[in-house]
Amino acid sequence: MPTYSNEIIINLHMHTTYSDGSGSHADIAQAALRKGLDAVIVTDHNVHVAGPESYYKEGKKRVLLLVGEEVHNQARDPQKSHLLIFGADKSMSAYAKDPQLLIDAVRQAGGLSFLAHPFEHAAPSIGETAIDWVDWQVQGYNGLELWNGFGEIKSLIPTKIHALFYAFFPNLIAHAPYQEVLDKWDDLLQEDRRVFAIGGSDAHALKLSIGPLHRIVFPYDFHFSAINTHILANEPLSGELVRDRHLILDSLANGHSFIGYDLPAPTRGFRFTAQGKDRSVIMGDDMDSDGGVTLQIKLPEPADCRLLRNGKIIDSWTRHQVCTHITTEPGIYRVEVYRKYLGKSRGWIFSNPIFIR
């Protein structure tokens, strides 16, 4: 029986100088090595820069840098519907005009697609519109970016002064995924769509200049210690590019992962499992309700935990570390964990669902 005991921490969705980021692929690899990540997937806008895809090493540490793409229709005004693409091996931007054609083409190319920042706030103070997903009629995508690290700032900056404040205190930005995205995700799951959640940083390492002051704000290092996607796999990464790329993409496609906001405290070690009569499964998997199912949640340290069934909270625990819920009811079960950080209760862990049939 698979044990899924290998936890692989990856950071998704970032930009280099090939689009609107300020750093290179090598800068990203260095930052990822410093922060102890296992892998990153770079997603520049409408360009697939294949060359830098590789393992990067420093001493005994190594990190796998994979190349994806963030595609949108550049002629659309205002901008809407950005799509994150992993593992397609070539640019998909030629299909940008029609989101369904794009999603289908990505699948045909062997890639995965996730709706980027599906809900956003506009931030007129810095001239930013809400670049949300509007083409909800599409089918066949793999999931959505439930929590976007950079996008969340747009909800917090009614004035330029606020924007400047958060540029210097980025630890105060992240609160939780927007409730609108959580609700939409639950609705899609209720429609029997297997759509899985990922966390993205949307890192740009922006250059800010005010008079004589020059500074990189929201550097890659910051994002890489914040909203990560943690994969649970049957095997560890081997150090071999093709094999490890396959393992990571396969895990993301199957929802064998959770989103961890690692800044308040490391989320490594979180587990959400379902034990049935004769087998046990993890996030992303199906389980038969016959004979009862024990859902178990293990947290790296005590925190406030909610168990949801079909989008509704059915059990909750305050400052618990191991939470158990026994059920015979079919449904789609997922977990949200919150903890105190910098004076507020903030989202810490968001699991992918277990489907009890």
> Footprint of Zn ion on this chain (CB under 5 A)?
70, 82, 116, 202
CB of 67 to Zn ion, least distance (A): 14
Least spacing, CB of residue 257 vs Zn ion, in Å: 19
d(CA 142, CA 100): 13
Neighbours of 2 (CB within 10 A): 14
* Biggest CA pair distance of the chain: 69
Q: Whole-number minimum distance, CB 187 to Zn ion, in Å?
A: 22
Report the residue number, 202 or 336, with the smaller CB distance to Zn ion. 202
In the complex, least distance from residue 13 CB atom to Zn ion, rounded to whole angstroms:
6
CB nearer to Zn ion: pick between 154 and 256: 154
* Between 259 and 281, CB nearer to Zn ion: 259
| Chain residue whose CB lies nearest Zn ion | 82
Minimum distance from residue 69 beta carbon to Zn ion (Å): 10
CB of 138 or CB of 349, closer to Zn ion? 138
| Residue 40 CA to its chain's centroid (Å) | 11
Nearer to Zn ion, 47 or 314 (CB): 47
Instruction: Tell me the closest approach of the beta carbon of residue 70 to Zn ion, in angstroms.
Output: 5
Burial class of 186 by CB neighbour count within 10 A (0 to 12, 13 to 18, 19+): middle
SS3 sequence, 237-306? Answer: CCCCHHHHHHHHHHHHHCCCEEEEECCCCCCCCCEEEEECCCCEEECCCEECCCCCEEEEEEEEEEEEEE
**What is the C-alpha to C-alpha distance for residues 93 and 111, in angstroms, rounded to an integer?**
13
Q: Tell how strand 54-58 and strand 61-67 pair up.
A: antiparallel
Q: Toward Zn ion, which CB reaches closer, 46 or 225?
A: 46
- Residue spans of alpha helices (H) in the chain: 25-34, 99-108, 160-168, 179-190, 220-224, 241-253
Least Cβ distance, residue 116 to Zn ion (angstroms): 5
Whole-angstrom CA distances from 187 to 70, 109, 191, 286, 316 are 25, 28, 6, 18, 21
Identify whether the C-beta of residue 46 lies closer than 8 Å to the C-beta of residue 102: no
Beta carbon of residue 33, minimum distance to Zn ion (angstroms, whole number): 22
By beta-carbon proximity to Zn ion, the closer residue of 71 and 176 is: 71
In the bound state with Zn ion, the residue whose beta carbon lies nearer, of 12 and 182, is 12
Selection from 30, 8, 56, 10 nearest residue 205 by Cα? 30
Residue with tokens 């490594």: 268
CA 13 to chain CA centroid, nearest Å: 8
